[in-house]
């Protein structure tokens, strides 16, 4: 049986990962140009939504725009905010998906890590005149990070189709599945790419590597959850 093009590791998934790597590094570099600006992450700046931070407000606004265009009808995509009530503005059928629908639920985890990263990577201080540029960079980075980790669903499906019996025999045991999921050689290449891109865009390589180490860990967790879903299906 021919493999679905979206599940082709060499031709589709890995090139997509490399593109996202560039987008993430560029967004991170842009973010480090501004002060930590802690106020954008706390409620109080958005006059119409006093209980919501500027980051969460702008992130939700952008995601609603993407939802209008059908982005989250793809099973491999996830949003940080609730976009279930958004109506599409264009006629677009939900595409046939090569993966099962499974919300990853990693949004809060990514934002928590990212906020800690900002404190470490950005100049200390607060500059109200750069709040807009700050959240623009934040949203770009967070959306690309979310897209990247959720490609783990496609990777997991591709691996499952290669060896369904082996995965079923694990019974969903995480350690056993990790033997099939984790490839240290591939992870090292990803981290080296992150470091090389960081040097190219004048971002401290160590700061880039820690972001990609985090994303690798989250991606593995998503793969485990997805494979458990697949294993639980009747044969």
pLDDT in tens, 37-90: 999 999 999 999 999 999 999 999 999 999 999 999 998 999 999 999 999 999
- Which one is predicted more confidently, 5 or 230? 230
- Span 101-116, average pLDDT: 97
- Span 110-133, average pLDDT: 98
**Which has the closest alpha carbon to 156: 78, 235, 80, 231?**
231
169-217, pLDDT tens digit by residue? 999 999 999 999 999 999 999 999 999 999 999 999 999 999 999 999 9
pLDDT (0 to 100) of residue 184: 95
**84 within some domain:** yes
Q: Which domain holds residue 17?
A: 5-230
pLDDT (0 to 100) of residue 10: 87
- The answer for 119, left when phi > 0, alpha when psi is -120 to 50, beta otherwise, is alpha
pLDDT (0 to 100) of residue 2: 66
Could you identify the residue written with the tokens 């679905």?
4
What percent of the chain lies above the pLDDT cut of 70?
Answer: 99
pLDDT (0 to 100) of residue 1: 55
CB distance 147 to 71 below 8 Å: no
Helix axes 14-32, 107-121, angle to 10 degrees: 50
Total tally of structural domains belonging to the chain: 1
- Span 94-98, average pLDDT: 81
**Which has the closest alpha carbon to 230: 105, 101, 78?**
101
pLDDT (0 to 100) of residue 55: 98
- Burial letters for 17-31: b for 16+ Cβ neighbours within 10 Å, e otherwise? beebbebbbbbbbbb
What percent of the chain lies above the pLDDT cut of 90?
Answer: 90
- The answer for 74, left when phi > 0, alpha when psi is -120 to 50, beta otherwise, is beta
**190 within some domain:** yes
pLDDT (0 to 100) of residue 224: 98
Distance of CA 183 to the CA centre of its chain: 19
How far CA 29 is from CA of 19, 122, 204, in Å, comes to 16, 10, 9
pLDDT (0 to 100) of residue 91: 87
Residue 212's CATH number: 1.10.590.10
CB distance 39 to 211 below 8 Å: no
**235 within some domain:** no
User: Count of alpha carbons within 13 Å of 211, Cβ hemisphere only?
Assistant: 35
Q: How far apart are CA 24 and CA 148, in angstroms?
A: 9
Q: How far apart are CA 13 and CA 161, in angstroms?
A: 15
pLDDT (0 to 100) of residue 98: 92
Q: How far apart are CA 141 and CA 113, in angstroms?
A: 12
pLDDT (0 to 100) of residue 182: 96
Q: For residue 93, give the 3-state DSSP assignment.
A: coil
Strand partners, 43: 53
């Amino acid at each position: 049986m021919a493999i679905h093009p979206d599940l082709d590791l060499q031709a589709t998934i890995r090139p997509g990962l490399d593109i996202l790597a560039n987008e993430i590094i560029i967004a991170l570099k842009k973010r480090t140009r501004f002060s930590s600006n802690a106020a954008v992450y706390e409620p109080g700046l958005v006059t119409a939504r006093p209980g919501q931070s500027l980051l969460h407000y702008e992130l939700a606004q952008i995601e609603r725009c993407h939802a209008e265009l059908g982005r989250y009808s793809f099973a491999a995509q996830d949003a940080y905010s609730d976009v279930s009530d958004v109506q599409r503005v264009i006629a677009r059928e939900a595409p046939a998906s090569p993966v099962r629908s499974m919300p990853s639920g990693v949004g809060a985890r990514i934002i928590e890590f990212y906020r800690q990263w900002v404190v470490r990577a950005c100049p200390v201080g607060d500059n109200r005149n750069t709040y807009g540029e700050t959240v623009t960079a934040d949203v770009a980075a967070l959306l690309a990070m979310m897209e990247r980790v959720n490609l783990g669903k496609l990777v997991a499906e591709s691996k499952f189709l290669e060896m369904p019996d082996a995965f079923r025999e694990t019974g969903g045991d995480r350690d056993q599945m990790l033997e099939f999921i984790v490839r240290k050689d591939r992870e090292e290449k990803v981290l080296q790419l992150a470091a090389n891109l960081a040097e190219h865009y004048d971002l401290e390589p160590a700061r880039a590597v820690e972001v990609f180490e985090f994303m690798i860990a989250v991606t593995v967790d998503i793969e485990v959850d997805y494979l458990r879903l697949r294993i639980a299906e009747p044969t």
